[in-house]
Amino acid sequence: MNCEDARPLIDSFADGELDLVNHVQVENHLEECLACDHAFRDRSALKKALADADLYFRAPTELRSKIRTALSEATTEPIYKRFFKSRWLPTLAAAALLVVALFTTFAILRPANSNDLLANEMVSAHVRSLMDKHLMDVPSTDQHTVKPWFEGKLDFSPPVVDLTQQGFTLIGGRLDYAGGRPIAALVYQRRLHIINVFIYPTQDGNAAATTSTRQGFNVVRWTRSGMAFWAVSDINAGELQELATDLQS
CA-CA-CA-CA torsion for 141, 144, 148, 150, nearest 10 degrees?
A: 40
Q: What is the pLDDT of residue 68?
A: 78
Alpha-carbon separation of residue 197 from 119, 138, 173, 213 (angstroms): 12, 15, 9, 15
Question: Which pTM value belongs to this model?
Answer: 0.58
Q: CA–CA separation, 220 vs 178, rounded Å?
A: 16
C-beta of residue 180 within 8 angstroms of C-beta of residue 152: no
CATH superfamily of 115-248: MucB/RseB, C-terminal domain (3.30.200.100)
Q: Is the pLDDT of residue 128 over 70?
A: yes
What is the model's pLDDT at position 179?
A: 85
pLDDT confidence bin for 110, thresholds 50/70/90: very low
Helix (H, G, I), strand (E, B) or coil at 156: coil
Band (112; pLDDT cuts 50, 70, 90): very low
Share of the chain above pLDDT 70, in %: 80
Round the average pLDDT of the chain to a whole number and report it. 83
Supply the pLDDT for residue 135: 92
Domain boundaries in the chain? 1-110, 115-248
Highest mean pLDDT out of 59-68, 87-96, 177-186, 233-242: 233-242
Spatial separation of the C-alpha atoms in residues 186 and 175, rounded to whole Å: 9
175: number of Cβ within 10 Å: 17
